[in-house]
Amino acid sequence: EIIEFNRFFNRIIDRFEMSKSQNVHFERYLPNEQYFVEIDPDKLTQVIDNIISNALKYSPEGGMIRFAMTVEEGALQIRISDQGMGIPKENVDRIFDRFYRVDRARSREMGGTGLGLAISKEMIHAHGGSIWAKSVYGRGTTIFFTLPFEIDDGGEWE
Ligand code: ATP
Ligand code: MG
């Protein structure tokens, strides 16, 4: 399905912003242009839902979640950053492994199965993109993913 990603992404962020119970602020750094991508919207929704749920889970009271999107080398690059506890450097790449959870004690408290990011990785790869994380332990985490786009101008029929 061909989807205008900016609108699609904003709607998902809106849904979380309206329903969140924590005192966490959302900031969006999204371009005004339209970007058309060929994606499975249900699967991409699942990916983004998981990333935002994680960001909320680990955000401190009064924290900020930033959403950003830029074009890098013919692909959309999406970034979701939180100011949570972060992930120790040696564990950052492992968060995409099945059932991997950084700290059993804190994860038990938080619920979940440890599958969310493994599934997200599979889905992003199936769309021809990549996904990775950067984190500073104690300061926060950013999840990055890319989506190649073939069509950059949906306005040609107007
Ligand atoms: P599930 O998504 O299946 O409900 P989960 O959230 O624990 O469970 P993943 O989404 O795969 O599983 O994340 C794996 C682990 O990576 C988490 O348990 C957590 O330890 C760590 N993690 C993921 N996102 C963040 C984040 N934003 N800040 C800190 N740690 C994170
Ligand atoms: Mg998760």
pLDDT score recorded for residue 102: 83
Q: Return the pLDDT at 108.
A: 64
What three-state secondary structure class fits 80? strand
pLDDT score for 86: 95
Mean pLDDT by 10 residues, the chain (158 residues): 96 97 96 94 98 96 97 95 95 91 72 88 98 96 93 52
Task: Answer yes or no: are the C-beta atoms of 121 and 96 closer than 8 Å.
Answer: yes
Tell me the C-alpha distance between 62 and 156, whole Å. 44
Q: Which ligand is nearest to the CA of 99?
A: 1
Residues with CB under 5 A from ligand 2 (ion): 50, 54, 116
pLDDT of residue 103: 77
Q: Write out residues with Cβ below 6 Å of ligand 1.
A: 50, 54-55, 58, 82, 84-85, 87, 95, 100-102, 107, 112-118, 141
Residue 51 to residues 11, 124, 133, 140, 153: CA-CA distances in angstroms? 15, 12, 11, 13, 28
Query: 33 CA distance to ligand 1 centroid (A)?
Result: 31
